[in-house]
Amino acid sequence: MGDKQRILVIGAGGQLGQELVRTLVAVFGEDAVVASDINPEKGMYLPNCHFEPLNIFATERMASVIRKYRIKQIYHLAAILSADGEVDPHASWQVNLDGLLLVLDTAKRMHVEKVFWPSSIAVFGGNTEKKDTRQHTVIQPNTAYGIAKAAGELWCRYYHKRYGLDVRSLRYPGLIGHGCLPSGGTTDYAVDIFHHAVREKDYVCYLNRDTHLPMMYMPDAVNAALKLMQAPQRSISIRTSYNVGAMSFSPEEVYHSIKRFYPNFKIGYRPDGRQEIAKSWPLSVDDTIAREDWDWNPKYDLDFMTEDMLDHLARNGKRSVLV
Ligand code: NAD
Ligand code: SER
């Protein structure tokens, strides 16, 4: 296999993973990236790199993949998102927290140099301030997903302090991309709405019209992960997880942004259980420390993102799947 050092992406078949892998391949080359997922069928969405079926609970297999490809960096993305986590809270804890511990431990044992693991705005809730939520503030998550992410952040800091494992993390807001349809999350509507507009179908939103949430376009999300991972150790002051913001909008606002291009597009509202989850999350986050430490600087606002999303979806129309 030579002495080339490679990057392993775990849970690569999901919304973030597919886009991240594309960028890692573009930056580091096809041979440098090993994508993996519990679902072997996800391999077909991850061409131009190595692919290994991998369940995070199979730690010996994880170790053998790390050995085989001389893995030096891991991006650990396997998760059960917030809405699905409320259906089976124990499974959410197992995958989101126990799974993280297995990855951290295997990374330590196999001398992996760096690990990236995304946390989420779901760590906030309860008495957390809603507007410009600070980096260091009340952490009272309302969901099983948020509880696991909050605990996971502390474990990341523990592995860094106790074992010197270079774990780095971001508290992502809702992620919006044109590459893959999300599922199981509370912020999924902000992707689905674009697919409906392009298919010229009306959209019924499961959140109230004025529910503002922090959001981020996928190119910024991927860029944030790469920037954080490439920053020198000495500039990383947060070893739990960094707040990162980009934009904040409500369903009604994204609807109006889309309507500039699809004037006949219509939206209705039928809130379900996800409204309660969304209500517990911040409206916006203060990401000053990320900006200062490693020069975080998102490019996309709502209108710029809308234009880019619609353009890509219209061009790739055949890939858009609506039920
Ligand atoms: P996703 O649900 O789209 O993808 C997760 C992937 O993990 C799936 O392909 C799934 O098959 C895989 N997986 C599940 N269990 C596994 C296991 N036991 N072993 C190996 N793989 C397994 O999620 P995503 O949206 O791509 O999120 C990626 C990460 O980013 C997660 O940690 C998530 O919490 C975090 N995050 C996402 C968002 C968002 O809006 N999408 C926001 C904040 C944080
Ligand atoms: N966007 C994610 C979700 O809705 C939050 O991490 O679950």
Q: Relative to the CA of 83, which ligand 2 atom is closest?
A: 7
Query: 265 alpha carbon to ligand 1 midpoint, in Å?
Result: 30
H-run or E-run covering 247: strand 247-249
In the reported structure, the alpha carbon of residue 290 is separated from the centroid of ligand 2 by a whole-number distance in angstroms of 20
pLDDT at 93: 98
Nearest-CA residue for ligand 2 atom 1 is 174
Tell me: the pLDDT tens digits for 19-33? 999 999 999 999 999
Name the β-bridge partners of 114: 73, 166
In contact, 97 and 148? CB cutoff 8 Å = yes
51-84 core/surface letters (b: 16 or more CB in 10 A; e: else): bbbbbbeeeebbeebbeebebbbbbbbbbbbbbb
Instruction: Identify the CA nearest to 239 among candidates 286, 193, 293.
Output: 293
Tell me the best of 95, 117, 120 to mutate to test the pocket of ligand 2, counting ligand atoms within 8 Å of each CB and taking the most. 120
Provide the pLDDT for residue 268. Answer: 98
Q: Are 189 and 207 in contact (CB under 8 A)?
A: yes
DSSP 43: G
Cα-to-chain-centroid distance, residue 19 = 10
> Rounded CA gap, 226 and 20, in Å?
9
> Which of 15, 87, 115, 168 for mutating ligand 1's site (highest number of atoms within 8 Å of CB)?
15
Q: For the chain, which ranges sit under pLDDT 50?
A: 1-2, 318-323
Q: Which ligand 2 atom is nearest residue 82's CA? A: 7
Q: What is the pLDDT, as a whole number, of residue 24?
A: 97
Catalytic residues: 145
Gap from CA of 78 to ligand 1 centroid (Å): 4
The structure tokens 């020198």 sit at 232
Write down the pLDDT at residue 320: 45
Contacts of residue 242, Cβ cutoff 8 Å, sequence gap at least 6: 135, 169, 170, 171, 228, 287, 289, 290, 293, 296
Q: What is the pLDDT of residue 322?
A: 43
What pLDDT score was predicted for residue 3? Answer: 59
**14 CB under 6 A from ligand 1?**
yes
Spatial distance between the Cα atoms of 288 and 14, rounded to a whole number of angstroms: 29
d(CA 60, CA 78): 17
